[in-house]
Amino acid sequence: MKTDNEIKMQNRVRIIKYVLDQRHVSRQEIASRLGFSMPTVFSYVTELLDANILCEKGEFGSTGGRKAKALSICTGQRYVVGMDITKRHLRLMLMHFNGEPVAELYFKYRYENTDRYYNGLGVHLETFIQNHDIAPESVVGVGISIPGIIDPKTNVLQRSHILEVSNISLLTFSKYIPYPVYFENDANSAAYAEIPKNEKTNIIYLSLSNTVGGAIYLGSSLYTGDNYRGGEFGHIILHPGGKFCYCGKQGCLDAYCSAMVLLDHSDDRLEDFFSRLDSGDETCIKRWETYLDNLAMAVTNLRMAYDCNVILGGYMGGYIAQYPGCFFEKAETYNKFDQDTSYISMGKHKRQSTVIGIAQLMLNHYISHFAV
């Protein structure tokens, strides 16, 4: 049985998350939607106003009596930081407590399993925060996204093919970071940035960047699988005996649908590929047609397996949105069970999806444990 303090904390969290999702609400709306009495809402809201979590911003239109005050999440009081670690780069995002990005930094910082690298994470983080005149005590936590299989029970990075490491304590990544830290896999983080937050829904997220990953959300809750490998769509075999994948297998989806397969060299730019595509380059046209064909096959396989909506995200999600016709035609050809492709949508955040998602997850983690 929950104690009174646990119940109060749970109710505060429900109110904060509701205001966060709705952006602007009245006390009356909170009472109606969350099933609280008005005296209870007034009590909790007063506590959250005093704690500078909520603030009053304007008024709603009158319905005959006194105008209701509009409640919002305070900005400028608390911040979270998202940190997206990749093989060659580091991306940082400073975010208001209401989920709005404040600033972003992206730069080359090649991963190496050394104390120098981990110390550098702390140095870059502190410099980033100081450069935006944020007091350290205003930062309530840092979310760190890592490409690989994360075991949250043991706080271990079980394996990362991308970083070429295995069985590393997550605390190694945060040893020089003087803030509470929340860890998550990169694809799960990106998916969290893209899924609807205010409705229960089942969604498959397919991350299409320099590697292919994914996440499974059931009722807007992440399904990780029994061994935290749920959503490893990049290593589903698409063509048996086909191209070699970095994981050691042949024919993986990653070997056919990562952004890298469109480029001749690892230091080439996607922007240049699509510029050549637009100019009618025959080699690019053929490569693009093959890419879309493989992707359509993969997406329809996911639709058959999970029977829910599919979001295409990562770098490629944004580009596919610019060339939708051919892809949707191919998807319709492979799928004879759906009358259209309305179950497929494109992610909104492109290259920022992972860092936005991990910052939001850190924010959600902090809110879920919030007590006045």
- In this predicted structure, what is the pLDDT of residue 331? 92
Instruction: For residue 205, give both structure tokens.
Output: 């997220």
What is the predicted pLDDT for the residue at 61? 60
**Ramachandran category for residue 13: left, alpha or beta (phi over 0 → left; psi -120 to 50 → alpha):** alpha
pLDDT of residue 264: 82
Q: Whose CA is closest to 313, among 143, 194, 162?
A: 194
Residue range 4-73, CATH number: 1.10.10.10
Domain 4-73 and domain 79-191+353-368, same fold? Reply is: no
Question: pTM to 2 decimals?
Answer: 0.88
Give every residue of the chain whose pLDDT is below 70, as ranges. 60-66, 198-199, 371-372
Specify the pLDDT at position 66: 64
pLDDT value for 55: 87
Q: Report the pLDDT value the prediction gives residue 197, as an integer from 0 to 100.
A: 74
DSSP 350: G
The helices-and-strands tally (H runs, E runs) of the chain is 12, 15
pLDDT at 177: 97
* CA–CA separation, 305 and 5 (whole Å): 43
CB neighbour list of residue 360: distance below 8 Å, 6 or more residues apart: 82, 95, 99, 143, 192, 193
List the CATH code of the domain at 79-191+353-368: 3.30.420.40
Domain residue ranges of the chain, discontinuous segments joined by +: 4-73, 79-191+353-368, 198-350
- Is domain 198-350 annotated with CATH 3.40.50.2020? no
Contact 260, 266 (CB under 8 A): yes
Query: How far from chain centre, in Å, is Cα 330?
Result: 28
How much is the pLDDT for 322?
A: 85
